[in-house]
């Protein structure tokens, strides 16, 4: 008998086919899982942003494993999972470069006005209407990175190649050559003009990028967030962009996805993405293979390839 699992977010077709070959795969609607199915569910495959809502976990008495197709664990109650003996896995390593690329892509798009110029050419306006406003130089900027894990360090490598100076804050000094450690976020923001959020989500980082941090970046400053929307006080961000006390924001993540405040969508100071930093064919394949490998190991009684510590 195939084990029964829930698939909470779509994955690549080739990955879903392999899941279906090994498991009975249920795709629940948001209203929840029918009671007769709930009692048979032993595994969940989910995304980092989606996680497992607590009421859903409560409704699955036989749940054994949650395989996250991502690296963020903030949308899963890890303490409760441990208490219930539910194992949790992620997909570390394989998405680092893509997420760092997205941070740089957002920064370039924002400072050089790429979306606006693209619209200008597409509209046939070139030669007929004034050119878009000049952009801003990327090289020579001072980048502050909030959260210097694997993704933060991959961003630093790229930013240095773009001729930027790098400072960062984290729980501790990681003694990284060429990167200045600053013990707190507000001091970091005061010393840079480009703040990139690459920290973990969850209670410990909620709203840490607040009005004071945004004000410290200033009117020529920009914020890039490829981590979690919960880390930024979104109301304060809207206020700073609207008042022009912050120069701009490049955002891949939002506080209440998929809802994006109208003020962010309408702002000429933003470049927005629908949580796409790991969304490449190559990376989603590698992530999906790790999800498959973790589920297979669990149901075969072998050690998990990438468990959450």
Interaction with ligand 8YV in 50-109: which residues (CB under 6 A)?
69-72, 95
Residues 6+ apart with CB under 8 A from 20: none
- Say how far apart CA 151 and CA 161 lie, in whole Å: 16
Q: Is residue 132 a contact point for ligand 8YV (CB under 6 A)?
A: no
- 18 vs 90, which CB is nearer to ligand 8YV? 90
**Upper half-sphere CA count for residue 287 (Cβ side, 13 Å):** 29
**At 206, phi and psi to the nearest 5?**
-60, 130
- Among 42, 87, 141, 228, the one annotated catalytic: 228
- Among 80, 257, 282, 302, the one annotated catalytic: 257
Q: Is residue 205 a contact point for ligand 8YV (CB under 6 A)?
A: no
Using an 8 Å Cβ cutoff, are 46 and 88 in contact?
Answer: no
- Among 42, 141, 275, 298, the one annotated catalytic: 275
Find the part of the chain contacting ligand 8YV (CB under 6 A) among 17-25, 44-52, 157-165, 217-225: 44-52
Kindly tell me which residue out of 47, 144, 247, 288 binds ligand 8YV, with binding defined by CB under 6 A. Answer: 47
Site size toward ligand 8YV (CB under 6 A) is 11
Residue that has been written with the tokens 């929307």 in this structure: 229
122 is catalytic: no
275 is catalytic: yes
Residues 6+ apart with CB under 8 A from 199: 146, 147, 149, 152, 170, 205, 208, 227, 228, 231
257 is catalytic: yes
Interaction with ligand 8YV in 210-269: which residues (CB under 6 A)?
none
The least distance separating ligand 8YV from the CB of residue 99, rounded to whole angstroms, comes to 7
- 49 vs 147, which CB is nearer to ligand 8YV? 49
Output Rg (C-alpha) for the chain, integer angstroms.
Answer: 21
Q: Is residue 278 a contact point for ligand 8YV (CB under 6 A)?
A: yes
Catalytic annotation, residues: 228, 257, 275
* Site residues (vs ligand 8YV, CB under 6 A): 9, 47-49, 69-72, 95, 275, 278
């Amino acid at each position: 008998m195939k084990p029964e699992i829930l698939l909470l977010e779509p994955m690549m077709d080739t990955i879903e086919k392999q899941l279906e070959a090994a498991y009975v795969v249920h795709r629940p609607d948001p209203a929840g899982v029918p009671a007769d199915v709930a009692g048979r569910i032993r595994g969940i495959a989910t995304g980092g942003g989606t996680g497992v809502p607590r009421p859903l976990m409560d409704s699955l008495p036989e749940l054994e494993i949650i395989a996250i197709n991502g690296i963020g664990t903030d949308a899963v109650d890890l303490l409760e999972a441990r208490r219930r003996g539910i194992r949790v896995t992620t997909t570390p390593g394989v998405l680092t470069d893509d997420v760092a690329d997205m941070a740089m892509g957002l920064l370039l798009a924002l400072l050089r006005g790429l979306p606006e110029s693209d619209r200008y050419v597409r509209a046939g306006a070139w030669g007929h209407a004034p050119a878009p406003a000049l952009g801003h130089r990327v090289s020579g900027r001072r980048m502050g990175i909030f959260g210097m894990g694997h993704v933060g360090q991959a961003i630093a490598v790229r930013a240095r190649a773009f001729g930027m100076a790098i400072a960062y804050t984290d729980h501790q000094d990681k003694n990284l050559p060429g990167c200045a450690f600053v013990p707190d976020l507000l001091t970091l923001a005061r010393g840079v003009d480009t703040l990139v959020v690459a920290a973990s989500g969850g209670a410990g980082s909620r709203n840490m990028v607040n009005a004071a941090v945004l004000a410290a970046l200033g009117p020529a400053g920009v914020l890039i967030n490829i981590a979690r929307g919960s880390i930024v006080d979104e109301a304060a961000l809207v206020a700073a962009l609207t008042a022009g006390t912050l120069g701009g924001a490049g955002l891949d993540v939002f506080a209440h996805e998929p809802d994006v405040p109208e003020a962010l969508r309408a702002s000429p100071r933003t470049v927005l993405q629908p949580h796409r930093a790991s969304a490449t064919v190559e990376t989603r394949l590698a992530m999906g293979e790790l999800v498959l490998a973790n589920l297979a190991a669990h149901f075969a009684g072998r050690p998990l390839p990438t468990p959450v510590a």
